[in-house]
Structure 1
Amino acid sequence: MTKKANHPVKTTEKTLELIETLDTGDGSRLSELEEQLEMSKSGIHNHLSTLREHGYVEKNGDLYALNLKFLSLGGHVRSRSSLYRHGRSKIDQLADDTGMLANLATEENGRAVYLYQSRGQYAVNLDTHVGFRLPLHNIGIGKAILASLPRDRVEGIVDQWGLPEATANTITDREELFEELDRIEERGFATDDEERTEGLTCIGAPVNLGGEVLGAISISAPTKRLGNSGFDDNITAEVESTAHELALDIKYARE
């Protein structure tokens, strides 16, 4: 979980709130930001001017937007991840072999964070992308991670984020979730049967290194292409074996 600052700096908090607000759209006017934030127009303008000076915000006409400098910073952080460095080629291969959208994610602050995606021949367009953060309880890749974490850690995540409903299939009951996680741990893979997005099914498997949960991988596809009947076929085995191979690659790289 994120540790609370002992002495938070209000100015920094306001800048971060502004950045996160800009991150939700393709550009915002000063008046729009004033409506969304508890800040004066002059205060917002001062923050934006400082961010522009340092290359973090750009202005096109009367629209303010985040600059690609954030991509540079995020790319550097991602490159330090052994899961990402060793996982890219395997995710590419999984996408090629299955024809589907293959995903690589880790857990941070009780959320799934996408590190890499690769598109196969039949991959669908989703709202997910590198850096995208999602709840763990209603996606295959997230449930694979949860099932590998200690119960008290999962309890903490549920306490922090709850179990919000995304579709009629979302698990919103704590005990039902833990029963599902027990089944996932026993069989070695997780499924998402239209639990976040109607018409979409996912299969996920954890990248587990001797009890250290590094993250998980998954494939996503329309339910009509993958479906419940696909949960026990060769595709499921390929997802599991890819996750296992990735864990071994990281293990041997550490030795």
Structure 2
Amino acid sequence: MDKDTTPKKGQSGGTPTIGSVETSYTVIDALQKLNTATVTEVASEAGLSKGGTFKHLKTLQQSGYVVREENLYRLGLRFLDIGGQLRYNHPGSRIIKDKMQELAVETNETSIYTVLENDRTTTLFRESGNRGVPTRTRIGKRLYPHETAAGKCILSQHTREKVERIFGGGPLPKVTDNTITDMHQFMEELSQVRERGYAYNLGESVEGLVAIAAPLAPDGKVLGACSVTGPYHRMKGDPIDEDIRTTLLSFVNELELSIAHSDTF
């Protein structure tokens, strides 16, 4: 048997994995970071041999997941097809998208719908109002849940044991000077979020940007969280503008009712 396809012990938890598949994921991650690159550049970024990297790129190319243009490789749009289908299959996706557009127009800021998967938040929908500003988030962007208002909302519905498992019990990763890194402090924050029904992000993901989020839970089932984000000087209040908070909570309530009574839930 070819050794690249022999199951081996994974690095996390000792779970048996397939080496060649892990290598392909490493090549994909490297190519995503580089955008377009030669075989040599991908191999260097991935920490693999040039010959092995070429074989994986060739295999991915034949499957439509990688495109070669002269001597440069890039990820193919087949990934977009998969991502689009995943987003479409999310419960209430069409209703959520329309409501996020309305929320962006109403607040003139950026509205974002986020879910939690594999211990990271992922952006499914992002809409920008007339004054919306660029953020780190794009469709499919994955972030640590503790650095976002949406992530706090979702984690507030989980047990302490699960939250600690996500972060391994140690200090939480620091993203900005405002990011909460102490587990005890973070658990207190989640308790407050659970009590008031919404969460804040006060420059904890991007300096100068703040956000407020509320969990989306039709019939009590948490699907994700809706948020509004913008620059501090426009959204500041106690700690965020009360009109924006009221608008967000109203929109989320309407969205929960719409999803709960739809054929997609």
Alignment TM-score > 0.5, same fold: yes
- 2:226 aligned with 1:212: no
Identity %: 33
Task: Give the Å deviation of 1:150.
Answer: 2.6
- 2:173 aligned with 1:173: no
- 2:67 aligned with 1:58: yes
Matches within 5 A, 1:56-205: 56-159=65-168, 163-205=172-214
Matches of 1:170 and 1:6 in 2, distance apart?
A: 32
**Residues paired across the two proteins, number:** 253
Unaligned 5+ runs, structure 1: none
CA 1:216–1:181: 2 relative to 1, 3 Å: same
| TM-score of the superposed pair, with normalisation by structure 1 | 0.92
- 2:54 aligned with 1:45: yes
Matches of 2:107 and 2:239 in 1, distance apart?
A: 12
Matches of 2:234 and 2:24 in 1, distance apart?
A: 45
- 2:247 aligned with 1:238: yes
Matches of 1:142 and 1:217 in 2, distance apart?
A: 10
Contact 2:136 2:206 in 1 (8 A): no
Contact 2:171 2:182 in 1 (8 A): no
Cα RMSD after superposing both structures: 2.0
CA 1:6–1:139: 2 relative to 1, 3 Å: closer
Structure 1 residue matching 2:103: 3-state secondary structure: helix
Matches within 5 A, 1:20-39: 20-39=29-48
Contact 1:230 1:236 in 2 (8 A): no
User: Per-residue CA shift, 1:112-139, capped at 9, x if unaligned?
Assistant: 1000111100000123110000011011
Give the counterpart letter for 1:16 in structure 2: Y
Structure 1 residue matching 2:34: 3-state secondary structure: coil
Contact 1:192 1:203 in 2 (8 A): yes
| TM-score of the superposed pair, with normalisation by structure 2 | 0.89
Structure 2 residue matching 1:224: 3-state secondary structure: helix
User: Per-residue CA shift, 1:166-208, capped at 9, x if unaligned?
Assistant: 1111100001001111111111111111111111010100012
